[in-house]
Structure 1
């Protein structure tokens, strides 16, 4: 088994079987042209090549680095090799600056969508980029999965690469793997030179430092060396330092002595803006109805939302079909089905009662005041659309005679949606909050 086959075998462990069978299985490693610093794969067509580039480039680079400690450039050719009549197309990954580890060049401050949920984190990250080692050191960014922490981290890195600075970006897992590898090979001087002789150290997912005593000791000394030399340190985590179990006190105190900035789940308007920006950057055309549908139903994980957009575009190209609302709904129905299974009618009633200032017991009662009737209709509509419950099951929950009452409520609210744009917006906001809050509670 050559190194390319080993890497693909390792990648298979990290992705779903469907992804592997549909995309990665089609890659062929070119042993003749590949070198330690440049790797060639052949893909059957441009669609698969682009999809692999956008989704798996970072993983491939990382897996090759684990094999031989060299971070290569990845090139994906399209078409048969050794064919003189057809020049193969080539997909290049971006080369990182000579003094820096690999960063995604598209993750900049300009491409980051700012909203109420991330304004503070964005502002502090930009301040750190402009005045490293002076304002907030370290900067500790924390928040849930897929909310933009890595984007801001790499935006800081990209800002300084353009200034010719030495930037080290790494996940905590990569830091640990590199530490273990150098420890075994008795080359710790090389490891320390790499991580302590940089202008900026950017560490992603520091929460995985939990209970790793040897790695914590090494990171402590690395942190101190950089800090004493006024070198900027930026760290991300899914939680605050005091909530990382098994983190030694002296590291926790150092993480807390700078500035901590959290990123909250985005509101509906911010998600819509993010989707529109992603489409603009990738040249993907989605009408407003589809954008709103994705923003309302896909929860708050921005990485997952962006992956959905890429998936829609890839499927549209492969099947040669226009992306319509029906096409989008069918393409992501399995994802939404999984989300529905995590949402209960109780969740829906609880959030609606809080947002509309109506008691949950009133929503489930037979009261006929206008505000209660509207809240009940909304609850029924969202229960039908956001949960796997059938109309008879929803009727039982709300104490109604049978499913025909649910059908009537659904018909009425659809009529209101058609005639009242403001009501439609309120409904989308409630749906978004339900998706977001139930997803957060599962994490």
Structure 2
């Protein structure tokens, strides 16, 4: 059966330990599955969450390569019901347990750079002395920058030390609240959330305008804080900027420490890609790593998915992941990104970094500094946008494309001789893509 064969294919891409411990334990649920919806059963939540987090995208990609259909992959936990004598997917039952921690999210696996140093240090301090230093700890930043990783790292650190840890999303918290309220079992809800040593809540911005849930969360927060139990929250924005959140909650979220995570600079991005490759047992050359770092968005989860995609294609096609191979596999993905970058975006970033007015770059000035900036803009525009050399020549009021070709050649020559200049171009590329 194809769905089982897909799991077999993973054997060549991951370690034997992970395959035997997790992948081999899955059972394909043919009855619940469809051509675009694959359901696998796992024996326990640990296996289910591990596979779902780390391999569900890879399973979907392998299936798509084989069939041309991109499926949704669902990993469900099964439970044996003695009365009915059959396996029942746990997801069909009323489940009020919190989301499980992903064991791969640890402080050791988190790549630290200037963009996340403060948040990392704060999270580690809280993990080592929960309830004593910063309570609550509020971590905010954009999608895929590592907030959930740090949140769960705090949980895993304390779980290993015998602490009672609850990690959950605010959505799960709201679902639990609604379920117990409807069934008049609020005492069980409060016992669950108010008896832990650490309460870790992801995506707290979704509390917005949920007045009844905010009321309950307010009292849960107070109860835990009064007992010196640690509270850690994440959001995509600063608590002051969460619309529809009661002022008393905003105030409490600011009682402890607020730490933000910024998009990673190029050096950190490269380190993150290398770390992901190391953890997944994937070998990429420095040229491919640099290409991904300067080309991909800052969303770390998307970068990881791209690495898995490259590895899957290379494995199926029995090819080494070279720079040309990576460009070929990702060409449509990169093309979509390029179409969103404009000349104004490039000129704005370059002029700011080189301390030159945008109007000077488009002028006829022959000043050495401005000529250099103009060449850099042409080089970046040729690589980051669909603009042809004739189109760029027309944009800068030149006779023909030969001037653009000369500028490209000049920049390439300098990059080959001057490593610092090459790094500067890579940094500009990264800033333009994510400005």
1:384 and 2:409 aligned: no
RMSD of aligned C-alpha atoms? 3.1
Match of 2:308 among 307, 310, 314: 310
Name the structure 1 match of 2:228. Answer: 230
Aligned residue for 1:75?
Answer: none
Q: Does 1:67 align with 2:65?
A: no
Aligned residue in 1 for 2:169: 171
Number of paired residues? 386
Q: In structure 2, what is the equivalent of residue 346 of structure 1?
A: 344
Give the equivalent residue in structure 1 for 2:58.
51
* Deviation per residue, 1:192-214 (Å, 9 max, x gap): 22211111111111111111111
Q: Are the structure 2 counterparts of residues 35 and 262 from structure 1 closer, same or farther at C-alpha, using a change threshold of 3 Å? A: closer
Q: CA deviation at 1:51?
A: 2.4
Shift of 1:224: 1.2
Q: Distance in 1 between matches of 2:95 and 2:32?
A: 13
Match for residue 367 of structure 1 among 365, 368, 380: 365
**Of 308, 324, 345, the match for 1:326:** 324
Going from structure 1 to structure 2, the CA distance change for 1:35 and 1:358 (only over 3 Å counts) comes to closer
| Residue correspondence of structure 1 range 7-22 to structure 2 within 5 A | 21=36
TM normalised by structure 1 equals 0.80
Shift of 1:416: 2.5
Q: Which residue of 2 aligns with 1:87?
A: none
Give 1:405's match in structure 2, choosing from 392, 403, 406: 403
State whether residues 269 and 293 of structure 2, in contact with CA within 8 Å, keep that contact through their aligned partners in structure 1: yes
Q: Distance in 2 between matches of 1:62 and 1:311?
A: 26
Partner residue of 2:114?
116
Question: 1:173-322 to 2 correspondence within 5 Å?
Answer: 173-322=171-320
- Secondary structure of the residue that 1:285 maps to in structure 2? coil
User: What is the CA–CA distance in structure 1 between the aligned matches of 2:96 and 2:73, rounded to whole Å?
Assistant: 10
Question: Displacement, 1:118?
Answer: 0.8
SS class of match (1:262): strand
Say if 1:382 and 1:348 are closer, same or farther in 2 by CA, change over 3 A: same
Q: Whole-Å Cα distance in 2 between the matches of residues 234 and 50 of structure 1?
A: 28
Contact 1:169 1:203 in 2 (8 A): yes
Bigger Cα displacement from structure 2, 110-119 vs 62-71: 62-71
CA gap 1:136/1:8 in 2 versus in 1, 3 angstroms: farther
3-state SS in 2 of match to 1:434: helix
**CA, structure 1 residues 168+28, in 2 after alignment: closer, same or farther (shift >3 Å)?**
closer
Aligned to 2:132: 134
How far did residue 329 of structure 1 move?
1.2
Q: Is the 8 A contact 1:37 1:71 kept in 2?
A: no
CA contact (8 A) 2:46 2:100 kept: no
Report the Cα distance in structure 1 between the residues aligned to 2:110 and 2:55, rounded to whole angstroms. Answer: 27
Work out the CA distance in 2 between the residues paired with 1:65 and 1:241.
35
CA offset digits 1:136-165 (Å, max 9, x no partner): 000000111111111110100000110011
Q: Name the CA distance, whole Å, in 2 between partners of 1:48 and 1:233.
A: 30
Secondary structure of the residue aligned to 2:434 is helix
Distance in 2 (alpha carbons) for counterparts of 1:38 and 1:364: 58
Contact 1:61 1:71 in 2 (8 A): no
CA contact (8 A) 1:62 1:71 kept: no
Look up the match of 1:92: none
With normalisation by structure 2, the TM-score equals: 0.81
Q: Residue 355 of structure 2 corresponds to which residue in structure 1?
A: 357
Q: Which consecutive unaligned segments of at least 5 residues does structure 1 have?
A: 10-19, 73-99, 438-443
**Alpha-carbon spacing, 1:308–1:229, altered in 2? closer, same or farther (3 Å):** same
In the TM superposition, 1:411-422 aligns within 5 A as 411-422=409-420
Q: Aligned-pair distance for 1:409?
A: 1.9
Trace 1:11-50 onto structure 2 (pairs within 5 A).
21=36, 25=37, 27=38, 29=40
409-418 or 133-142, which deviates more = 409-418
Please tell me whether the aligned partners of residues 139 and 235 of structure 1 are also in contact (alpha carbons under 8 angstroms): yes
Cα pair 1:129 1:156 within 8 Å, conserved:
yes
Q: String of CA shifts for 1:235-273, please: whole Å, max 9, x gaps.
A: 000100110000011111110111100111111111111
Q: Residue 93 of structure 1 corresponds to which residue in structure 2?
A: none
Q: Distance in 1 between matches of 2:171 and 2:373?
A: 47
Distance 1:339 1:217 in 2: 43
Aligned mate of 1:150, from 125, 148, 151: 148
Deviation at 1:410, TM superposition (A): 1.9
